[in-house]
Amino acid sequence: MAAPAPARGPAEALVRLPRLREDPFREIARRIGLVVLIMALNTAVVWFDRASYADNINQDGISLIDAVYYATVTVTTTGYGDITPVSDHARLLNAIVVTPLRIAFLVLLVGTTLEVLANQGRQSILDARWRRKMRNHTVLLGYGTMGRSALQTLLRSGAQRDRVVVVDANPIAVDAANHDGIAAFHGDATSRDLLRRAELPKAKHIIITVNRDDTAILATLTARQLNPHAHIVASVRQAENISLLRQSGADGVVTSSDAVGRLVGLATLSPDMGNLMDDLLTHGEGLEISQRNVAPDEVGAGAETITGEQVLGVVRGGLLRRFYDPSCSTLKTGDQLIVVRPSRARAQAGRSERADSD
């Protein structure tokens, strides 16, 4: 098993909340442009009024280079005194034009430094505020293709974006999570310190979709030790590692390579079976699989008597019973049904068609 990556430093462990980000290169270019504009204005003031300035060293008048030089030492408040305004109106222009330009340059220079410091402090405050409110949330370790699909399924089922946090070692994945409106941490999914900062010990659900089985096993073991009560679902690429994940504390394990292989095999044997399985896994069209509480008017009836849905199983006392189990012949209060039913979009379309026909 590969050794875990070293833990991230405190500055890297701050949560990255979704927000609109400016292009840093564009911002740098904007600030450089402002500096050049200030220098150009200052140089123009001196150059067009060069007769009112004296070169106290060479005594040969003011050239364009002298004007640039004077603007530079003036704006940066160096002020060697070798070039000075001598007429009254030149001194007045220095007071009402050059001095404000000098102040604007200093504000731009100092403001950039203060902005960096302020952003660091602001980020720390946002991090602390975010962690205080995170309870019974979902932690998603790994934001690749499988992780994004898992998130979309959660969101379609009613989960809130601000109750999900992503942990991924790839900065591109972290940026993608922020772009999707999800808070994220950049770092190793097996790091205890990082998982604590993601408030994993207080999470209700933990989903592990990292791209290596050994990392998934170690992440599952770490997550279970930090949170003994959370519901952990992990994906694994090789079926031989399922037992290791379950021993590490995973409540549910999905074998990605085997599952894809079975779908490909079904589609090969029968395109209709492949299409039906793809339909069940695709949200919003055709059929969908769902879990719901048994309705009061269904208590005492059999699973086979329910119309409009096909019951696949009954969850009773935390145990899943298949539809063919004799105990499913009588539904009880508190049971949960796993059913296959028309998607909501299809059901709404059916109701609209019936209304039109009436």
Cα–Cα distance for residue pair 137/94, rounded to 1 Å: 61
Handedness of CA 154, 156, 158, 159 (dihedral sign): positive
Closest CA to 200 of 166, 234, 150, 159: 166
Listed range (169-173, 279-283, 334-338) with the worst mean pLDDT: 279-283
Phi, psi of 95 (to 5 degrees): -75, -40
Predicted model pTM: 0.58
Average pLDDT, the chain: 80
The residue count for the chain: 358
pLDDT on residue 338: 87
pLDDT on residue 9: 43
Phi, psi of 86 (to 5 degrees): -115, -25
Give the model's confidence band at 155: pLDDT under 50 very low, under 70 low, under 90 confident, else very high.
Answer: confident
Handedness of CA 133, 135, 141, 145 (dihedral sign): negative
What are the tens digits of pLDDT across the range 288-330? 888 889 988 888 888 888 888 888 889 998 888 888 888 888 8
Give the model's confidence band at 120: pLDDT under 50 very low, under 70 low, under 90 confident, else very high.
Answer: low
More confident residue, 3 or 116: 116
Half-sphere exposure of 344 (CA within 13 A, CB side): 5
Closest CA to 232 of 242, 240, 224, 241: 224
Helix (H, G, I), strand (E, B) or coil at 37: helix
For the record, the structure tokens of 261 come out as 């292989």
Give the containing element (helix H, strand E) for 193.
helix 192-197
Give the model's confidence band at 149: pLDDT under 50 very low, under 70 low, under 90 confident, else very high.
Answer: confident
Angle between helices 99-133 and 64-75 (to 10 degrees): 40
For the record, the structure tokens of 189 come out as 């999914």
Q: Locate tokens 């059929």: which residue?
A: 287
Beta carbons within 8 Å of 273's beta carbon, 6+ residues apart = 266, 267
What are the tens digits of pLDDT across the range 122-140? 677 777 788 788 899 999 9
Q: How far apart are the first and last CA of the chain?
A: 65
DSSP 16: B
222-247 in b/e form (b: 16+ CB < 10 A) is: bbbebbeebebbbbbeeeebbebbee
Q: Which domains does the chain have, with CATH numbers?
A: 24-131 (1.10.287.70), 134-259 (3.40.50.720), 287-357 (3.30.70.1450)
